[in-house]
Amino acid sequence: MTSLLTKPAAHSSRLWMPERVLFTPAALDQPWGQQILSRVQALNLPIEELPQNRLSGLRGDSERETYQIAKRTLAVVTAPPSHFKLSPIPPSADWQFHLAEGCPAHCQYCYLAGSLQGPPVIRVFANLPQILENLATYERPGTATTFEVSCYTDPLGIEHLTGSLAECIRYFGTRRNAHLRWVSKFDAVDELIDLPHNGHTRCRVSVNAAPVSGRFEGGTASVASRLQALRKLALPHSQGGGGYPVGIVIAPIMLIDDWELHYTQLFDEMSTTLDFSCDLTFELISHRFTPKSKEVLQTWYPHSKLDMEEEKRSVKRNKFGGTKYVYDTDDMKTLRRFFEREIARRFPEARILYWT
Ligand code: SF4
């Protein structure tokens, strides 16, 4: 008999282990920094205390080498004062906040390319309790306020090193009207199952069709494994699961060859794995890039086959004069119709939060 917690075989990602863990003096002064120190000591990772609070010495001889050094480095720092002034993040949530910046995975379309400054070191914040305390000032009285914590990192991908996602979930479980949202391409959720979340955290996984995830999402868990993790999070407590509200983010949706066939197979996999009733949402994000993200991605992944030809796209301008390259209107309509139809057919109780 199949266990309630597992469906067909999937490959877990190995937990990411940095080659170096750097601590700033300010991070070591923080109790949460000491908690992270105990975790990385227990994992026998090489630890260095920096002489100052600024990160330095992380550049290689080329951008590519800098990328490789950075992606193998965890830096434990304190979030600067700018992190205490939150920005809205429509359509995903009311506000974004950050427990870290940078991500150990290697997605060739990475959303962080061009949005973070400096080498893509994984910086985790030792002053998490203060970051969480600050959120209360952004809650709207008497109505739900949502907070997204995965804009600049994959919080689950570094959870074994920080414990910070669990701390956020516990914190939101104590709030009357504040709700947490996070998304991941990793799968190590066992430590999250028994947390007192009080229904205030929506856990999401980001998935894609096999040719996209197989070719462009280095260092992540397989899609099957992400879906199994979501299953564990969504199953009721009485069946050994976490009883969380959950979500699936299909992103970035790409017009690959035979896209309809590949995305249908992805929907088959989702239907098989989530074969029970649960509080489920979908977010649908088509592939886009900016001149800056393209430039950065081409230095990080010079041999990538990712399609970023401007001539094949429509230009979308924002109110600040920024430019994005998106699929043209007809392609967008065709894609959107397909995804909305499949979701309505297979998950009639699920809500689609947005298409973009
Ligand atoms: Fe970038 Fe997200 Fe992939 Fe991490 S998981 S490399 S943040 S796209």
pLDDT mean over 78-97: 95
CA of 238 to the centre of ligand 1 (A): 33
pLDDT mean over 11-17: 80
Banded model confidence at residue 115, pLDDT cuts 50, 70, 90: confident
3-state secondary structure 150-199: CCCCCCCCCHHHHCHHHHHHHHHHCCCCEEEEEEECCCCCHHHCCCCCCC
pLDDT mean over 97-106: 97
pLDDT digits over 31-75, tens only? 999 999 999 999 999 999 999 999 988 899 988 899 999 999 999
In the predicted model, is pLDDT for residue 1 greater than 50?
no
pLDDT of amino acid 111 = 87
pLDDT mean over 126-155: 97
pLDDT of amino acid 320 = 80
Give the whole-angstrom CA distance, residue 301 versus residue 294.
Answer: 10
pTM (two decimals)? 0.94
Chain mean position to CA 1: 33
pLDDT mean over 279-299: 96
Nearest residue (CA) to ligand 1, atom 3 = 107
pLDDT mean over 287-294: 95
Residues whose beta carbon lies within 6 Å of some atom of ligand 1: 103, 105-107, 110-112, 154, 185
**Residues near 294 by Cβ (< 8 Å), separated by ≥ 6?**
308
pLDDT of amino acid 12 = 64
pLDDT digits over 128-142, tens only? 999 999 999 999 999
pLDDT of amino acid 2 = 35
Residue environment code for 235-247, b if the CB has 16+ CB neighbours within 10 A, otherwise e: beeeeebbbbbbb
pLDDT of amino acid 118 = 85
CA of 107 to the centre of ligand 1 (A): 5
pLDDT of amino acid 10 = 59
Select from 3.40.50.12110, 3.40.50.720, 3.60.70.12, 3.30.70.150 the CATH code of 19-184.
3.40.50.12110
CA of 222 to the centre of ligand 1 (A): 14
Index of the ligand 1 atom closest to the CA of residue 113? 1
Mean of pLDDT over the chain = 94
Q: Phi, psi (5° rounding) for residue 206?
A: -100, 130
pLDDT mean over 262-290: 97
Index of the ligand 1 atom closest to the CA of residue 184? 5
Give the whole-angstrom CA distance, residue 89 versus residue 284.
Answer: 15
pLDDT of amino acid 340 = 98
Ligand 1: residue of 99, 103, 124, 150 to mutate (most ligand atoms within 8 A of CB) is 103
Q: Where are the domains of the chain?
A: 19-184
Index of the ligand 1 atom closest to the CA of residue 109? 8
pLDDT mean over 188-192: 97
Question: Does ipTM come in above 0.90?
Answer: yes
Banded model confidence at residue 7, pLDDT cuts 50, 70, 90: very low
In the predicted model, is pLDDT for residue 258 greater than 70?
yes
pLDDT of amino acid 11 = 59
Banded model confidence at residue 288, pLDDT cuts 50, 70, 90: very high
Banded model confidence at residue 266, pLDDT cuts 50, 70, 90: very high
Ligand 1: residue of 98, 106, 109, 185 to mutate (most ligand atoms within 8 A of CB) is 185
pLDDT of amino acid 308 = 96
